[in-house]
Amino acid sequence: MDHADRTMISRRGFALGMGGLAIAGTAISRTATAAAPATAADVPPAIADLYRKSIVIDALASPNSWNVPMPPPGPLNAGQLENVRKSGITAINLTVGKPGGFEDTVREIAFWLNQIELHPDYFRLVKRHSDIAAAKAEGKMGIIFGFQGMGMIGTDLSLIDTFEQLWVKIMQLTYNDRNALGAGSSLPDSEGLTELGRQAVARLNERNILVDLGHSNARTAMDAVKASTRPITISHTGCRAIYNSQRNQPDEVLRAVAQRGGVVGIYLMPFLGHDPVAASRRLLMRHIEHALQICGEDHVGIGSDQSITPVEITPAYMAVVRKTAEERQKAGIGAPGEADTPVTVPDVNTPLRLEIIANDLAKAGHPTRVIEKVIGGNFNRLFKEIWKA
């Protein structure tokens, strides 16, 4: 999911009972057991200190509501801003724009430029790579503008230049469906990158814009890897070898992106699988560990696909999840499994989710250098290679 159709996550606080999780929904058991989200008390001082000192990057997130419109997104409120500060995240890739609408995309960019201007103590717009380090030094969150699908340009590749001037630094070629550039994850692998898509990749390379293969099908991804002369990313995905979902990429794609110097971001989405009902912290670690094995420690990061503010999982929330998924299916942009469980990993449902991941990596025996790379160092290196200093 993304906010291209702006099915967004609740900005309200998380209210998950310690004893279990009651989820309403025909595809979910009546009393699905889930652990309470980890807290700061679970993280030892050494990891908390490492986290505070590190460049922490979430390759897909939002300060606003996200994935499920409960309540509808709007100007940032005090609670959301508090969670931005609490998260300790240095920078995020924030989706702007609707793939089908040029004017709507410009409006959304303008909305976020206004939010950044209104809250200068919290945010810094990332125009060049050095802004990430500046955001860290200032205790702010760097906002990187990115696309999820490039339908808003139609067949006019000159609009890539236009949006580059509006500080869009990451452009994802497709969403789940088909556009003029290639086939998304809902399409069979008999379809891939089009000739126009190859031209778009070349133009993105020339303009120092990071090519993103999130939501692409495997063939489009492999075609784009071959077409690009520069490293690329899959900002948010999972490992198909762990859970067979069309939203997860097979090993050959993960390996190809890594071999060309790119970075794969693992998300916190239902497509990680069921443990036993919803995706879990343990299952998330299985995906991260598998990605590390396939890609290597220099090529794995996190693209949570979450709001900074955690989800409040209630029967009312799950009703909106199902309604949103139905609307997405009707529009031809849905993915199987979107309505089965909460659109998050319940026991990592906290603004400090990346700190929890850092702790789990440490408990799994990974050295400090690997932890720093996964929670932001690898994406920071990739951004430096692609963007101006």
> pLDDT, tens digit, for every residue of 162-204?
999 999 999 999 999 999 999 999 999 999 999 999 999 999 9
pLDDT class of 231 with cuts at 50, 70, 90: very high
Those residues with Cβ within 8 angstroms of residue 291's Cβ, 6 or more apart along the chain or in another chain:
239, 254, 264, 266, 300
* Mean pLDDT of all residues in 111-129: 98
| 355, 51 contact by CB (below 8 A) | yes
pLDDT for 26: 35
Confidence class for position 41, pLDDT limits 50, 70, 90: low
Question: What's the pLDDT at 389?
Answer: 77
Residues pairing with 61 in the sheet: 306
| CA 368/CA 383 separation, integer angstroms | 21
Domains of the chain in sequence order: 40-386 (3.20.20.140)
For the cut 80, the answer to whether the pLDDT of residue 9 exceeds it is no
Q: What is the mean pLDDT of residues 125-148?
A: 98
Give one DSSP letter per residue of 54-71, joined into a string: S--EESSEESS--BS-SS
Check pLDDT > 90 for residue 363: yes
Confidence of residue 35 (pLDDT cuts 50, 70, 90): low
pLDDT in tens, 71-90: 788 999 999 999 999 999 99
* Mean pLDDT (the chain, rounded): 90
* DSSP line for 311-373: P---HHHHHHHHHHHHHHHHTT---TTTTTS-SS-GGG-STTHHHHHHHHHHHTT--HHHHHI
Where residue 1 falls among pLDDT bands split at 50, 70, 90?
very low
Please state the pTM of the whole predicted model. 0.91
pLDDT band at 117 (very low <50, low <70, confident <90, very high): very high
Separation of alpha carbons 355 and 48, rounded Å? 7
Above pLDDT 90, what percent of the chain?
82
Report DSSP state, residue 376: I
Give the lowest-confidence range in 14-23, 62-71, 327-336.
Answer: 14-23
Mean pLDDT, residues 42-54: 96
